[in-house]
Amino acid sequence: MKNFSNVLIMGAGPAGLSAGYVLTQQSVNSVVCEQANAVGGLARTIRKGNFRFDIGGHRFFTKNDDIHKFIMDLMGDEVIKVKRKSRILFCGKFIDYPLPIVDSLLCAGIPDCFIIPFDYMYQKIDGRLKGKKIISFEDWVVNQFGRKIYGLFFKSYSEKIWGMPCDQVSADWARQRIAGMSLKTTFTKALFKWKKNSPSSLIDEFNYFKQGFGRISEKLAEHIQKANRIYIKTRVVQVQHEEKKIKGVVISQKGCLYNIGADYYISSIPITTLVQIMNPPAPEEVIEASKNLRYRNLITVHLMLNQHKVTSDHWIYIHDRDIGFARIHEPKNWSIEMAPPGKTSLVIEYFCSRSDKIWNMSDENLIDLTLHDLVKKLCLIEKEKILDGFVFRHPKAYPVYDIGYETHLYKVYQFLSDFKNLYVIGRCGMFRYNNVDHAIETGVKAAHNILGANYDL
């Protein structure tokens, strides 16, 4: 292993690999270190025999023309166009998502059909008259949809994702994830269909890739490895610094420790981890701030079935509280190459914390629990059709935007910004709940900054 390079990249998800790709294209000596046994992070594609599985399902859609061209040029003839179909399972009924106004009103029931529009107008007027501040996720959704729609379609699902009441979740999450959505835009979409400037949450078509979303990371890695190195199963255990400059890192690989130095460092590892492995240690108030930043874990249960198809959906969102998982996707509906002929598969997502019972459950028990809910409660599949199954656990998958998180994050950013040869990028690296196109953009811009640009990340 070389003990020095021009740039050291921590993390081989789409953000880190995009940075490595740009640097490699410009003949910059660099090395990428990844803790997992494969590249891609949460956006990888897992292979099991002739089946391919994304972890949770990822679409590619961006409003950034440069990033769109970057990925289209990279992927070439692997790109396919997919017409989106998603549904919500609510009170035993399937309704389309994004919410079609007629279906949602009918699902709510005749009395609520009349209440919903008046409730929405009341919340708008009341909020303006009283000057209500939008602080929590609950505040934001009630303001955009009314309290009735919030209670029917947002509250239970969001609390299942975050494991906390919606009035404890910051409105920033809504602003980033469902920005532009409201009862008004839902009506507009129903009446006038999709427009180019519609919110990304409402798009009807997206790009995907014949053999899974993870092909982005795989192709980026292939290009990097033509001139540079990617080390998997390699964990950064210490970041050494002196006089406001990162001097080197200590990595753990196959039970051995190695020191690696570089001129510049790019980190997409969780920002909390980065702060807590600094040597000398970060100031106590910064360490405490990092400990107050939390991530949500993801478990995916992957099932292989001996049948042609289960649904025609890309995603199914499960609101019912008595079912532990929150979302299902069927990979074959994204690309026919994700499963062998005559077979299909399902990916079932659980959101949890390390202390939750579900996180600590054995794989066998978790698969049994999942099958019980799919077979007995949802009646989606027959147990006899199951060929095989496995479980994937991804810690620190999603940054948690609880009320006040931004105060803690500011302290961490202030500390890290002092290091002029360090760039933090990506979802976990920046503690920013963004989409994969934004993560890729941060990696590309960080690389260009090292090459002389001055982008604001």
Looking at residue 19, its pLDDT comes to: 99
Which percentage of the chain shows pLDDT scores above 70?
Answer: 91
Q: What rounded mean pLDDT belongs to the chain? A: 91
Q: What is the spatial distance between Cα 236 and Cα 246, in angstroms, rounded to a whole number?
A: 14
Q: Which domains does the chain have, with CATH numbers?
A: 4-39+213-293+401-450 (3.50.50.60), 97-199 (no CATH), 295-399 (3.90.660.20)
The CB density around residue 286, as the number of other CB atoms within 10 Å, is 20
pLDDT tier at 369, thresholds 50, 70, 90: very high
Above 70 in pLDDT, residue 110? no
- Residues 216 and 72 sit within 8 Å (Cβ to Cβ): no
CA dihedral in degrees (189, 191, 194, 197; nearest 10)? Answer: -70
Find the helix or strand (DSSP H, E) in which 344 lies: strand 344-352
Above 50 in pLDDT, residue 415? yes
CA angle 174, 444, 170 (to 5 degrees): 15
Alpha-carbon distances, residue 320 vs 90, 113, 157, 243, 327 (angstroms): 6, 21, 8, 54, 11
Above 80 in pLDDT, residue 90? no
pTM: 0.92
Q: What is the spatial distance between Cα 14 and Cα 224, in angstroms, rounded to a whole number?
A: 13
- Residues 325 and 372 sit within 8 Å (Cβ to Cβ): no
Looking at residue 188, its pLDDT comes to: 59
* Per-residue pLDDT tens digits for 113-140: 668 778 888 888 887 878 789 999 999 9
